[in-house]
Amino acid sequence: MAIKLEIHATDPEVISLVQRYWAMNEEGDFLEKVGALLPFREVKNAAGIASFVKTQCLVIDQNQSCSICGGAVAITTRSQVNKDPQHSSSSPCPSCKAVQDDERRVAEAEANAKLQSYLAKHIERVDALTTRYDEIPDDLSLIALALDRAVASGLVGRSFSYRESRSLAPMGAEDFVDRLWSAQVLTDAPRATGASAYSANDNGLSYYKDRIKLALVPDEKLGAGVEAFQKIAARSFDDKPRLLNLWFDYAVAECMSYLYEQSHKEKLDVPRNQVEEIKNAIRTAVQFYSISQVWCLLWKAVKEVSGQAEDRNYKRDDAGTTISQRLLHHYEKTRKGNKEAKRWGRIEFLSAGTLGKIFKERFGIDHDSSGVAVARLFSEGPSVREEIEASIDAKVKQLMACALAAGSGAAAIYDFAELIRNGAATSEAVELIAKIYAFSPTNEVSVT
Ligand SMILES: [Zn+2]
């Protein structure tokens, strides 16, 4: 028998029970099944016997040795018995384990003290943070407004988790939130989170993304109350290049969320290492087409790639790598074909997010707005209307003065309206009306 039994009990019945429980033959097989020992007083089941016996003796398995000191190893259950002698066990002996436990407790206490001291300093830093709301760029302000709506009770006066911000965008809400954090519009909120969201290491504090809470950094003059936050909402939003860039980021998120949904349906993996390439291809397409048109192009691309994946000669895992190429192929083909690309309806459960809703409310653009139209809206040069007005200004002044002088103002307006109704562009109609109603001053002289 390879085990050594030290029985603490003095009660003869208990001693006999412990001996029967651990009795084994030369081969290391137990002489009796645990069931044969039942019942023992109030103990009616095998698990009860095992845990009772454990309290009555110390069992050393001589076939095992401590992984640290090489000494004897104590076991507590039948399943821990080792039938064949081995050099060292995977577990330490009781005294080495006690030393190990002590060392671990000391290390844990030290780590906790380090964490608490780092955290105290971090809280001081966070408490002192301020920013200037009037200097927050337009794109970040728009994200902040969208985030305020996405988080159930708003941003003012409370902290929130990444999970609570999910409805900010169709996907990748975290990335938009991170922009606010790195620009110090937001900060982490260690007072609200507590130490459990942080860990200390040699480089200082790190945090667990699923536990951390974030909050607004206060304005240096107005604080972080409702009045201060309204300053963000009331700004004029005229940094067009930043807004345009944010729109394209948002459009890419809309399309990626559609792509994942469609790929899931077609049982196609979108390879992680392809994501950036696919995003770039989508970004190219949404600069010209609307989001809903790019959904259609993506639908075609996914259908084709998933068809390829069905092909036995093709490695299924490789199929996903061609998504971006197929998308660009359809994009170019549709543009060259000069045909209107089809617009796909929104998949009902894929929401535009609060960012999408704010783009719609503030700028009137949504998933059906073409990339070209959005670029024009956010272009820095004069608007199309201003350009047209400038080009027709001289002619309009002349023709109106002449028409009024000749008493034919109403007729000129009537004819102009008629031309527009028949599809003429504004400047084209002005040109035609001018030919009829505007007389040069020399002509006028000769007429009178
Ligand atoms: Zn040991």
Kindly report, residue by residue over 401-431, the tens digit of the pLDDT. Answer: 898 988 889 999 998 888 877 767 788 888 8
pLDDT for 87: 57
Domain that holds residue 426: 384-447
Residue 324 lies in a domain: yes
How many whole angstroms from its chain centre is CA 289? 25
Which segment of 5-14, 78-87, 281-290, 351-360 scores lowest on mean pLDDT?
Answer: 78-87
Å from CA of 4 to ligand 1 middle: 17
Residues 122 and 216 in one domain: yes
* Listed ranges 67-81, 356-370, 413-427; the one with the highest mean pLDDT: 356-370
Greater pLDDT, 448 or 158 = 158
pLDDT at 419: 83
Q: What pLDDT was estimated at residue 62?
A: 85
Span from the CA of 87 to the centroid of ligand 1 (angstroms)? 13
Write the pLDDT tens digit of every residue in 294-324: 999 999 999 988 887 777 666 666 667 788 8
Query: Is the domain of 229 the same as that of 245?
Result: no
Tell whether 331 and 398 lie within a shared domain. Answer: no
> Rounded to whole angstroms, how far apart are CA atoms 209 and 198?
9
91 CA distance to ligand 1 middle (Å): 9
Whether residues 78 and 178 share a domain: the answer is no
Q: How far is the CA of 72 from the centre of ligand 1 (A)?
A: 7
pTM for the predicted model, two decimal places: 0.68
* CA distances (Å), origin 263, targets 182, 285, 315, 392, 438: 32, 19, 17, 51, 62
Neighbours of 74 (CB within 10 A): 20
CA of 71 to the centre of ligand 1 (A): 5
Residues 6+ apart with CB under 8 A from 68: 92, 93, 96, 100
- The answer to whether 177 touches 165, Cβ cutoff 8 Å, is yes
Residue 98 lies in a domain: no
**Statement to judge: residues 251 and 289 lie in one domain:** yes
The CA 109 to ligand 1 mean position distance, Å, reads 24
The CA 3 to ligand 1 mean position distance, Å, reads: 17
Spacing, Cα 88 to ligand 1 middle (Å): 10
* Residue 51 CA, ligand 1 centroid: distance in Å: 24
In a domain, 297, yes or no: yes
64 C-alpha to ligand 1 centroid (Å): 11
- Cα(94) to ligand 1 centroid in Å equals 7
Ligand 1 centroid vs 62 CA: distance in angstroms? 13
Q: Look at residue 101 and tell me if it is in a domain.
A: no
Rounded to the nearest whole angstrom, what is the distance from the C-alpha of residue 102 to the centroid of ligand 1?
A: 14
Residue 83 alpha carbon to ligand 1 centre in Å: 20
Mean pLDDT of 154-177: 94
- Number of Cβ within 10 Å of residue 334's Cβ equals 20
- Domain end position, chosen among 233, 251, 277: 233
**Across residues 151-169, what is the average pLDDT?**
93
Ligand 1: centre distance to CA 55 (Å): 21
Are residues 338 and 425 both part of a single domain? no
Do 291 and 217 fall within a single domain? no
Q: How remote is the CA of residue 67 from the centroid of ligand 1, in Å?
A: 7
Q: Are residues 280 and 371 in the same domain?
A: yes
Q: Is the CB of residue 89 less than 8 Å from the CB of residue 65?
A: yes
Residues 354 and 254 in one domain: yes
Residues 363 and 396 in one domain: no
**Residue of higher predicted confidence among 321 and 367:** 367
In a domain, 267, yes or no: yes
Question: Quick one: pLDDT at residue 130?
Answer: 95
Q: Measured in angstroms, how far is the CA atom of residue 59 from the centroid of ligand 1? A: 15
Using alpha carbons, select from 368, 367, 365, 294 the residue that is nearest to residue 334: 294
Average pLDDT over residues 157-161: 93
Give domain status of residue 97, yes or no. no
Q: How far is the CA of 73 from the centre of ligand 1 (A)?
A: 8
Which residue, of 343, 377, 411, is where some domain finishes? Answer: 377
The strand order across the sheet containing 213-216 reads 160-161, 213-216, 186-188
- pLDDT of 31 above 70: yes
* 86 Cα–ligand 1 center, Å: 15
408 domain residue, yes or no? yes
Whether pLDDT at 191 is above 50: yes
| Domain count for the chain | 4
If you measure from the C-alpha of residue 141 to the centroid of ligand 1, how many angstroms do you get, rounded to a whole number? 62
Distance 112 CA to ligand 1 centre (A): 28
Map tokens 């998120």 to a residue.
Answer: 253
Residue 218 in this model has a pLDDT that exceeds 60: yes
Ligand 1 centroid–CA 99 distance in Å is 9
pLDDT value of residue 374? 93
Q: For position 316, what pLDDT does the model report? A: 60
- What distances in angstroms separate CA 182 from CA 16, 175, 194, 261, one per listed residue? 70, 10, 21, 30
Check: CB of residue 290 under 8 Å from CB of residue 367. Answer: yes
Q: How far is the CA of 98 from the centre of ligand 1 (A)?
A: 9
Distance 35 CA to ligand 1 centre (A): 34
- Give the distance (Å) from ligand 1 centre to CA of residue 76: 16
Q: What's the 10 CA to ligand 1 centre distance in angstroms?
A: 28
pLDDT reading at 60 higher than 80: yes
**One domain, residues 359 and 400:** no
Residues 224 and 125 in one domain: yes
**pLDDT class of 153 with cuts at 50, 70, 90:** confident
Give domain status of residue 388, yes or no: yes
Q: How many Å lie between the centroid of ligand 1 and the Cα of residue 65?
A: 8
